Structures are given as structure tokens and as C-alpha cells.
Structure 1
Amino acid sequence: MLRVSDDDAGAFEELVRKYHPRLVRLMRAIGPSPELAEDLAQETFLRVFRARERYQAGAKFSTWLFTIAGNVARNASRTMRRRHEVNEVDAPQSPDDNPGAGILAGTALDASGLMPTRQVEGDERAEIVRQAIRSLGERQRTALMLSRFENMSYAEIAESMELTPKAVKSLLSRARVNLREILQAYMDNGSSPVEEQE
């Protein structure tokens, strides 16, 4: 990023290549709609480029990047609420669109060649987990994604979300409890947790 701040276009391309997949995955989870993830990731990189001259190497670059990403996602959510836009297709359609739920639901099914019914069950579980993650509040979802899928420490998440590490720990604890509660109906009787909450 220091090279980018000196207008090194090659360094910026390198940052985009390195962080783009992670940023898109994060935006699918914390943005207002998974379909907007690519656009929000591009908007984040545009803001990074615009702020290049003001960048100061204090924290890790990824922490700074994810702080900007969180702001972009919040702004997009506010804009969508103001416009009262409703997205008919709320859930990702493929495992690639999944913000990590495939890992939670068991990615071994995809490569195992198991019976088709087990594959369908695995896909169903992944979709249920995706819905459960998306039903969390924005802050809980963001903290969970940064912790679980970006492997950020409490301190890094706190800096990225402008919270204290203690607040992040509490937020993650509540997110896990809420996920457990949301998924309990599915675990008990196979019903969709999102249907139960509506």
C-alpha cells in the first residue's frame, strides 16, 4: 500500500488480485444483497485508491481495507433502505456465492461422490446456514465473518469495526448464541429457520 500511495499502479493491481476474492466473500455476507458483492468490492477498491495519499502504515492493511469495506456495505444498506428496494432472490444460488457456510455445512460432500440424496441434504444444509448467517444483525454478521473466515484477531476486528476488543468478544458470543438458536429448529425437525422467524 505504501507503493500504491506513491502512485505505483502495479502495486495496486497486486493488492486487488490478493484481496478481491476475500472482499467479495465478505461483501456477500455483510452487504445488503449478495448480488451486489462484486460492485461493493469494486467500490471499496475505488475508495482505497482515492485515499492512497492519506494512507498511513499504522495497522495491518487488511484491517484498514475491511474498515473501508464495512463503511461501503453500511452505506449501500442505507441507500437500499431509503429506496425501499426489495430483492426477490435473497440467498446465494451456488456454493461459490456462499460466505463460508459451505465450510460450516461440510464441504467434503461436494468432492466425496456420495449418493445424490446426501448431496441434496448437504446443499440444503449449506443453504440453511447461509440463511441463518444472513439473518444475523449487520454487526454480528460482520464480526463473525471477519473472525471465522478472515481469521482476524479480536483486536483487528475491533479496529476494523471501531469497537473495543471486549465489545467484539461480546458481539461474537451473541452471534454464536443467535446462530445456535436460529439453527435449532432445523436441527430438531428439519424446518427452515428463516421460515420460523418470519
Structure 2
Amino acid sequence: MAISDSTIQRYTHADPDVRLMLRVRDDDTAAFEELMLRYQNRVASLMAHLVGRRDQGEDLAQEVFLRVFRSRKRYVPGSKFSTWLFTIANNVASNALRTLSRRKEVRFAPGAPGDTGANPLENAAVASSGLMPGRQLEGAEMRAAVREAVGDLNERQRVAVLLAKFEGMSYADIGEVLDMTPQAVKSLLSRARGKLRTALEPYMDQGKRVVATSEGDHDA
């Protein structure tokens, strides 16, 4: 679909990263390095959470930026730069997951080897559940419960949760990334939040595990 001149002007005026990408289109390597500086860690983190492997996440982030550079001459600002970038990242992650699935190597592990404490995906999952937003996870049991809950989400739900909470994207922007309508994204996130809430509610009572008694009461 053709992008109107008014849309191009709107995003060029409003988004400094779009202006950087337009410089990349004109073969400005300094602008490309600036975009990588701004986004590389964020893209690598997203990819690692989606494929479950930190080392592969970093490799896939490199592939994302390689695609950005190779497609620079075709770039037209029809959305915020971050939306366009994460659309490419989602496509790269989906291809990688299909390849891993054929090799039977898919394993979901939100925490990278050597991590301690909560990581962004775990915090995003807890925030999305609506049970304890903005708080750090407490204890290995709590983190294990969150990892299991996130592992039960499908790929699209995990991407939507990450982009909504980790990147602060709107339904419309997430919809562009996932090729869905904003209303479909809203429903997708609602289902994801419901799953997370159901899975995590037994563990949430002012940060302590809830244990049910035979009478139906709960002790912290």
C-alpha cells in the first residue's frame, strides 16, 4: 500500500529516529551507528526472550540490523522507526523459531545463563497480570512460577506483552508489528493477561506465596 506524502511528513517531523533512518538511506554510516547504539541492546533483549537463548539473541539482533541496512534504499517512513524496526525483528525471530523447531532445539528460558533476580520479561509478565505491577520479583520460587507462566504463552502473546510493557507500544503500533488490527491486539493482550493472572494469582499476596487450606482460607 502506498504511503501518502502527509504520512511521510508527519513521521519525519515527529520522530528523530525516522530522520536518522532517512540519513541512513542516503548512506550516512554515522546515522546508522547512532541507530544501532540506540536500539541494539533492546532488539537483542527482545530476541533473546523470544528464542530463549542470550547468545542467539545477540546474533539475531545483528541480522536485524543487517536487514535494516540492506533495505535502506527502499525505506519510506510510514510509521515510527521503532515500529518498523520491531516488525523486522519479529519476522527474524519467527524465522529463527521455525528453524529451531525443525531442529527440535526450541527451549523457552526467559532468564539468561548467569542472571540473578528478575529480568525484563518476568517484570513485564507480572505487570501485565495486574497483580503486582512495578514490584521486583521475590525469591527463586516466584521467578520459576513467572517463567512457567510466560512459557505457556504463545509466540504472539509473548511478543505483544514485551512490546506493550517493555517498549511501551500502543495497540496500533503492536498491530503493525504483528500484522493485526488494534482491536485484535487488545484481545490478544487480554487473553495473555488472563493466562498470566490465572497462573500467578496463587503466588501473589504482598509478594509472598499463597497457600490454600482445606477450609478454603489462605495463609501467607
Find out whether 1:164 has 2:184 as its counterpart: no
Find out whether 1:90 has 2:90 as its counterpart: no
> Which residue is 2:95 aligned to?
75
RMSD: 2.6
Give unpaired runs (5+ residues) of structure 2. 1-20, 127-131, 205-209, 213-220
Distance (Å, rounded) in 2 between the aligned partners of 1:82 and 1:171: 26
Find out whether 1:66 has 2:86 as its counterpart: yes
- Structure 1 residues 97 and 73 mapped into 2: Cα distance closer, same or farther (>3 Å)? farther
Distance (Å, rounded) in 2 between the aligned partners of 1:143 and 1:182: 18
Task: Give the counterpart of 2:51 among 28, 31, 36.
Answer: 31
In the TM superposition, residue 48 of structure 1 has moved relative to its aligned partner by 0.7
Structure number with bigger Rg: 2
Distance (Å, rounded) in 1 between the aligned partners of 2:118 and 2:22: 32
In the TM superposition, residue 24 of structure 1 has moved relative to its aligned partner by 1.7
Show the 5 A alignment for 1:174-189. 174-187=191-204, 188-189=210-211
Residue pair 2:83, 2:173 contacting (<8 A) in 1 also: yes
Residue pair 1:70, 1:161 contacting (<8 A) in 2 also: yes
Distance (Å, rounded) in 2 between the aligned partners of 1:138 and 1:57: 27
Which structure has more relative contact order (CA 8 Å, sep 6+)? It is 1
Say which structure is richer in helix: 1
Find out whether 1:56 has 2:76 as its counterpart: yes
- Structure 1 residues 4 and 164 mapped into 2: Cα distance closer, same or farther (>3 Å)? same
More displaced stretch, 160-169 vs 178-187 = 178-187
Find out whether 1:6 has 2:23 as its counterpart: no
> Which residue is 2:121 aligned to?
100
In the TM superposition, residue 86 of structure 1 has moved relative to its aligned partner by 5.3
- Structure 1 residues 18 and 96 mapped into 2: Cα distance closer, same or farther (>3 Å)? farther
> Which residue is 1:112 aligned to?
none
Residue pair 1:25, 1:98 contacting (<8 A) in 2 also: no
For the residue of structure 2 that corresponds to 1:100, the secondary structure is helix
- Structure 1 residues 107 and 184 mapped into 2: Cα distance closer, same or farther (>3 Å)? closer
- Structure 1 residues 108 and 143 mapped into 2: Cα distance closer, same or farther (>3 Å)? closer
Give unpaired runs (5+ residues) of structure 1. 110-118, 191-198
In the TM superposition, residue 126 of structure 1 has moved relative to its aligned partner by 3.2
TM-score by length of 2: 0.71
**Percent of counterpart pairs with the same letter?**
52
